[in-house]
Structure 1
């Protein structure tokens, strides 16, 4: 299966999602958006549901890759690594929310089509964060998993904040400082 062609199918699926939503999008819509026949689309996905599952998987996997890179960057302080993991989640949510009211459907962890993908993504982020906190050490009374859960709760709270991008750096730095029990350098503009 050609990866480039599958990417084109998923790009067209996303375009249709922004216009029509999951329920109203048809395989004909995806094919028309690509400029191919419906049978050509079926060479790469089994159904509309398969196309949307693969799209959700691709978007979450891209965000998870960004989070993993941030967590692995041992050249920066722990606060910046944690912030990078949290930013990957927040950026995914904000990008999908800004593109169309329909695209937020890909974030619903209770949705039949995407629930497992969304839950697995959050679980993977939780593990990345817990590993960072286990490595850095946390204040007495707060374990690495609890610290990870607190950080994820911060991002979930910011997802609907009007100025989420601006609030994430100082919010995550303050949170990490408290969880690690050490002062965290102030975030400079553009960090």
Structure 2
């Protein structure tokens, strides 16, 4: 199976998703968006549901890759923490910004994507737990609990006004509270965090 052609199918599925949603999109819609026949699309995916599951998997894997890169960097812990949280927030904001229908891809309660979303959150939690295990946490808050606090913060930011603007100071507050050190010493400038 050609991965370039599969990517084209998934890109076309995303295009249709943003316009019609999962339920209203048909294989004919995906084929039309690609400029091919429906039978050509079936060479790469088994069904519309298969196309959307693969699409959700691709988007979540891209976000997880960004989170892993941030966690593994040699940046200070507050910046690494910001990078991991920005990967999750960025995924949500991208999908919500593209279309209200795209939010279906990140809904843990849906039959079609729920397991992908749950697995992504579990992987993110594991990544954060490892980061806090490496960095150490304040007394009374273990690494897994610190990870849960971070995930809860990002989930809250997803529906807040100006979530991108709130993420840097929220990350700094988390780093100060969970790592037990000032995220930014008073004499150091506040470097701009990359935005999701």
Mapped contact 2:92–2:103 kept (Cα < 8 A): yes
C-alpha separation in 1, matches of 2:92 and 2:152: 14
> How far apart are 1:164 and its partner, in Å?
0.4
Matches within 5 A, 1:34-113: 34-74=34-74, 76-113=75-112
Normalising by structure 1, what TM-score?
0.98
- Output the CA distance in 1 between the equivalents of 2:175 and 2:182: 9
Aligned residues: 190
Match of 2:191 among 165, 188, 191: 188
Q: Check whether the contact 1:170–1:187 (CA below 8 A) recurs between aligned residues.
A: no
Gap runs ≥5 in structure 1:
none
Contact 2:79 2:193 in 1 (8 A): no
Q: Which residue of 2 aligns with 1:159?
A: 158
Instruction: Give the conservation status (yes or no) of the 8 Å contact 1:66–1:88.
Output: yes
Asked whether the equivalents of residues 107 and 114 of structure 2 are also in contact (C-alpha less than 8 Å), the reply is: yes
Conserved in 2, the CA contact under 8 Å of 1:13 and 1:51? yes
Work out whether residues 169 and 187 of structure 1, in 8 Å CA contact, stay in contact via their aligned partners in 2: no
Distance (whole Å) between structure 2 residues aligned to residue 30 and residue 162 of structure 1: 34
Take 2:114 and 2:123, find their aligned partners in 1: how far apart are those partners?
A: 14
Question: 1:25 aligns to what?
Answer: 25
| TM-score, structure 2 as length reference | 0.95
Q: Matches of 1:184 and 1:174 in 2, distance apart? A: 7
Give secondary structure in 1 for the equivalent of 2:134: helix
Instruction: Provide the C-alpha distance between the structure 1 equivalents of 2:83 and 2:190, rounded to a whole number of angstroms.
Output: 13
1:162 Cα shift? 1.6
The structural deviation recorded for 1:187 is: 3.2
Map of 2:5 onto structure 1? 5
* Partner Cα distance (1:58, 1:108) in 2: 15
Q: Tell me which residue corresponds to 1:169.
A: 168
Find the aligned partners of 1:108 and 1:5 in 2 and give their Cα distance: 27
Structure 2: how far apart are the matches of 1:87 and 1:57? 18
CA shift for structure 1 position 190: 5.1
CA RMSD of aligned residues (A): 0.9
CA distance in 2, matches of 1:163, 1:103: 20
* In structure 1, C-alpha distance between the alignment counterparts of 2:18 and 2:43, rounded to whole Å: 23
Q: Which runs of 4+ in 1 moved over 4 A?
A: none
Q: Which residue of 2 aligns with 1:123?
A: 122
User: Per-residue deviation at 1:161?
Assistant: 1.1
- Please list every run of 5 or more consecutive structure 2 residues that lacks an aligned counterpart in the other structure: none
